[in-house]
Amino acid sequence: MKTAITELFGIERPIIQGGMHYVGFAELAAAVSNAGGLGIITGLTQKTPELLAREIARCRAMTDKPFGVNLTFLPTFSAPPYPEYISAIREGGVKIVETAGRSPEQYMPALKAAGIKVIHKCTSVRHSLKAEQIGCDAVSVDGFECGGHPGEDDMPNMILLPRAAEELSIPFVASGGMADGRSLVAALALGAAGINMGTRFIATKEAPVHENVKKAIVAATELDTRLVMRALRNTERVLTNKGVERLIEIEREKGRALKIDDILDEVAGVYPKVMIDGNMDAGAWSCGMVVGLINDIPTVKELIDRTIAEAERLIRRRLVGLLDGVPEEKQEKKARAVA
Ligand SMILES: Cc1cc2nc3c(=O)[nH]c(=O)nc-3n(C[C@H](O)[C@H](O)[C@H](O)COP(=O)(O)O)c2cc1C
């Protein structure tokens, strides 16, 4: 399946694994790239640029396919040393960077000078247009369904993706709520050139996280995520648990007067407790509504292969069949006869 995204990044399948804190290590990124998608190492999970350089080298030892690094520009007072992280990416020979959070504008000259292709993840048409204007090569359009930070517009992908298609000249992938071949076909129909998946990739054999996390994702339904930190304009979609219930209770009490310090116990330092120790009640960790569609823990290759196979089946049999006027129940029979 060739799209503007497979061509841009030199990959075989239009499927990207979004950067994920304490999940996007070399093992997962390499597995995704080896299966024909684009794996992404999460830059800031590596506490120093030197550690990121080591992680890039580990990933390169596991795959000879293209992979990328995520750089999340956080709204913090003490910013991580981004120029040094970019040097580690450049020196590691990585040619694709997924940016997220704040605009990457300030860092675009350094990234472009290193011949790096930039895909910026954002949650609105206006931010997508800004990304295009500052020279990003592609955008990951993240709808309200997404795990992590959906922004403050609450715009679901059914509207956001076609709006992005109307406005953008650069290619974009659909992010948020993507799980399988059905999502891929829908994303393509809405104008995207591929999909970006986060939550779905956590429930895979290769994802280097505690088994409790994978089991929690399989057990959860689409009703089990919550939005937190809205009062701070830093909304995050997370899987509910005892820590999140505590957090929401504090949010209720404080209302608009909420300060980050009020909820620090439930949001700071949570990722290692959840992802490494498997303590599922530690606090808030990003998770998408797509958990409702995740019922197994396949290998990354099984997941990507079946996503492409399902998409192909849907396009060739169901959609073309509908145009040919073949009733749906007969399409399967006809397809089996041809096979
Ligand atoms: C556990 C987890 C951690 C994440 N951490 C980051 C991150 O550090 N930086 C980032 O840009 N996006 C992060 N994301 C967002 C994903 O890259 C992706 O955009 C999102 O998960 C897509 O929505 P989905 O979960 O419905 O597939 C994270 C998502 C999850 C589930």
Give one DSSP letter per residue of 170-206, joined into a string: S-EEEESS--SHHHHHHHHHTT-SSEEESHHHHSSTT
pTM for this predicted structure: 0.96
Count other Cβ atoms within 10 Å, centred on residue 24.
31
> Could you report the per-residue pLDDT of 224-233, keeping only the tens digit for each?
999 999 999 9
User: Which atom of ligand 1 lies nearest, measured to the CA of 289?
Assistant: 26
Instruction: Name the stretches of the chain with pLDDT < 70.
Output: 77, 332, 334-336, 338-339
Q: What is the pLDDT of residue 77?
A: 67
DSSP string across 14-33:
SEEE---TTT--HHHHHHHH
- Take residue 197 and report the two structure tokens written for it: 């998946």
Q: What is the pLDDT of residue 326?
A: 78
Ligand 1 centre distance from Cα of residue 94 (Å): 20
Exposed, middle or buried by CB within 10 Å (0-12, 13-18, 19+), for 78? exposed
Q: What is the pLDDT of residue 300?
A: 99
Ligand 1 centre distance from Cα of residue 162 (Å): 22
Ligand 1 pocket mutation pick from 122, 199, 209, 290 by most atoms within 8 angstroms of CB: 199
Could you give the C-alpha distances from 94 to 71, 269, 337, in angstroms and in order? 13, 28, 47
Ligand 1 centre distance from Cα of residue 18 (Å): 6
> Could you report the per-residue pLDDT of 67-101, keeping only the tens digit for each?
999 999 987 767 899 999 999 999 999 999 999 99
Q: What is the pLDDT of residue 99?
A: 98
Nearest CA to ligand 1 atom 14: 20
User: Which atom of ligand 1 lies nearest, measured to the CA of 177?
Assistant: 26
State the chain's mean pLDDT as an integer.
96
Any atom of ligand 1 within 6 Å of the Cβ of 123 = no
* Secondary element (H or E) of residue 61: helix 49-62
Nearest CA to ligand 1 atom 30: 286
Ligand 1 centre distance from Cα of residue 23 (Å): 9
In terms of phi and psi (left: phi > 0; alpha: psi -120 to 50; beta: otherwise), the region of 269 is: left
Q: How far apart are CA 289 and CA 321, in angstroms?
A: 31
